[in-house]
Amino acid sequence: METVKRYLSRIFKDEAGQALPIVLAMLTLGSLMIVPTLDYTATNTKIVKMYEKKFESYYAAEAGIEDALWRINAGQAETLPYNYELTDINGMMVDISIEEVTEIAGVEIGEEGVHEGWLKISKTATYDDGIYNFVLSIKNNGGGNMKIEKLLIDCPTNLAYIEGSTSGNITFDEPVVIGTADMGITLHWDLPSPFFNIGPGATENQAFQFAGPPDIDAVAAHSVVKASREDVGTVWDADSKPYSITAQVTDNEDKIITIITAGIWKGANIEISCWQVNQQ
């Protein structure tokens, strides 16, 4: 800084009449630097506000998902789809939709019927030296015959199906195994027509085996049966009720900012199986 001062003093002393052009030149240079700096600052402010709005909208959508989980757990979403809205969440509107799941692991399973309670599904799993013995029981509590079109078991991670282990009254055919053990497999039996029949009051079993470590709650596998009767339709076991929840956040200009979609299983506990975020 002292060097600059001495240099300017020498110019002003030795070069009379040149001070004004130099000062004007420096002012011009300063003005050229100030405008981009102010523009940069304004741009940064806009970016910060944009990200703040995205964060606030994400938390608003997350609050919407949590509210939907509470309503499901409290039994307020019995009739699906169940749609409602939350107002003034971080100054934004959250539209929430709770819907029935009709597809698991890419397999179309259909919808529940008005008499889905006529079929009762239970399950047991025992462990012995690296092998889980899983038994699915289906009881017909209705007044007529029940024909079974489809069986599907959505499994916890780290369980591998043992080929050739299927037995029981319903089918000896091997299931289609979807996915990998590290991510969780799904077993799918698509029964051929005229379909397996369960008489009134009867209980039929389907058994199979998994290989896996000893610390897995294999009975937590989610089971679904599809009956050919439309009034029965898709039936889940008592610990397995899937839902799809969507929370859509809009600002005061009705512009969509954030959408969160969550897949959950409701049984004794709530289990989140997938979580997808889309921000505009």
pLDDT, tens digit, for every residue of 4-27? 556 556 555 555 555 566 655 665
Does the structure show a pLDDT above 70 at 32? Answer: no
Does the structure show a pLDDT above 80 at 205? Answer: yes
Mean pLDDT (the chain) is 84
Q: Note whether 236 and 242 are within 8 A (CB).
A: yes
Burial 247-258 (b: 16+ CB within 10 A, else e): bbbbbeeeeebb
Question: How confident is the model over 185-208, as a mean pLDDT?
Answer: 94
* Cα–Cα distance, 125 to 133 (Å, whole number): 5
CATH architecture of 113-232: Sandwich (2.60)
Question: Does residue 257 or residue 40 have the better pLDDT?
Answer: 257
pLDDT of residue 220: 78
Does the structure show a pLDDT above 90 at 39? Answer: no
Does the structure show a pLDDT above 60 at 124? Answer: yes
Does the structure show a pLDDT above 70 at 133? Answer: yes
**Is the full-model pTM beyond 0.75?**
no
pLDDT of residue 116: 87
Does the structure show a pLDDT above 60 at 86? Answer: yes
Does the structure show a pLDDT above 90 at 186? Answer: yes
pLDDT of residue 196: 93
Task: Work out the end-to-end distance of the chain between its first and last CA atoms, rounded to an integer number of angstroms.
Answer: 50
Q: Note whether 96 and 64 are within 8 A (CB).
A: yes
Longest dimension (CA), the chain: 116
pLDDT of residue 61: 92
Question: How confident is the model over 166-181, as a mean pLDDT?
Answer: 94
pLDDT of residue 212: 93
Coil, helix or strand at residue 91: coil
* Residue 201 CB neighbours (<10 A): 10
> Hey, where are the domains in the chain?
113-232
Does the structure show a pLDDT above 60 at 37? Answer: no
In percent, the amount of the chain with pLDDT more than 90 equals 50
In percent, the amount of the chain with pLDDT more than 70 equals 82
pLDDT of residue 254: 83
Does the structure show a pLDDT above 60 at 209? Answer: yes
pLDDT of residue 43: 61
Q: Note whether 233 and 38 are within 8 A (CB).
A: no
pLDDT of residue 219: 75
271: pLDDT confidence band, cut at 50, 70 and 90? confident
Question: How confident is the model over 75-104, as a mean pLDDT?
Answer: 90
